[in-house]
Structure 1
Amino acid sequence: MPKGYWVSVYPTITDPERLDAYNGLAGLAVKAAGGRVVAGIGGRVVAHEAGIAERVVLIEFDSFEQAVAAYESAAYQEALAALPDGFERDFRIIEGLG
């Protein structure tokens, strides 16, 4: 069964301290849903094309369905509500190849 992944790219972060509430809640929701952060949050990024290198986060789940369910969970929806107004990110849930 192919794994599932959350891929988040944050084009700009003007006030990182305002993300603390979201990060705490999101981390708990991801862990409770069986997700594992495999890259990002302080990791090195070499940006090409669009040049977005501010922050990239990759989270792995045992299946695509598990990744979708984690996003739709009440715990993660609570985390999303904690994102600061005007916050911008590019978020995808993708299915692995194998």
Structure 2
Amino acid sequence: MSAYWVTTYREVLNQDKVAAYAALAGPALEAAGGTFVARGMPEQVYEEGAETRVVVIRFDSVQAARDAHDSPAYAEALAALDGGAVRDMRIVPGVD
């Protein structure tokens, strides 16, 4: 069953750190089998939706997403982020 890694950026504190993170995280997550399916600012928000950056990455399974998160390559990306953003990240199973 597929899984989706969903990250929302509640606040960007240091754009340079976020850029350094993105330069490392994208290739690390793609190498781990992730496919970026959405990223950017919302075109529309409803209810209590916030105008914050969202990233959605598809993986073949929840375990594959966990393994990507726990990989040395992604740890390097997190080290580069180093508090540059306040984020909410979760892995959600797909419905396929």
| 1:28 Cα offset (Å) | 1.2
Structure 1 residue aligned with 2:65: 67
Partner SS state of residue 82, structure 1: helix
Write out the 4+ residue segments of structure 1 that deviate beyond 3 Å after TM superposition. none
| 1:60 Cα offset (Å) | 0.3
Gap regions ≥5 residues in structure 1: none
Partner SS state of residue 69, structure 1: helix
Structure 2 residue aligned with 1:45: 43
Q: How many residues align?
A: 96
- Give TM-score scaled by structure 1 length: 0.85
Amino acid at match of 1:83: L
| 1:53 Cα offset (Å) | 1.9
Greater per-residue strand proportion: 2
Structure 2 residue aligned with 1:7: 6
CA RMSD of aligned residues (A): 1.7
Partner SS state of residue 21, structure 2: helix
Q: Is the 2:13–2:86 contact (alpha carbons within 8 Å) kept by the matching residues of 1?
A: no
Structure 2 residue aligned with 1:87: 85
Q: Is the 1:8–1:56 contact (alpha carbons within 8 Å) kept by the matching residues of 2?
A: yes
Gap regions ≥5 residues in structure 2: none
- Give TM-score scaled by structure 2 length: 0.87
| 1:79 Cα offset (Å) | 0.7
Q: Map residues 22-61 of structure 1 onto 2, 5 A cutoff.
A: 22-41=21-40, 44-61=42-59
Cα distance in 2 for partners of 1:35, 1:45 equals 23
| 1:44 Cα offset (Å) | 3.7
Q: Percent identity?
A: 44
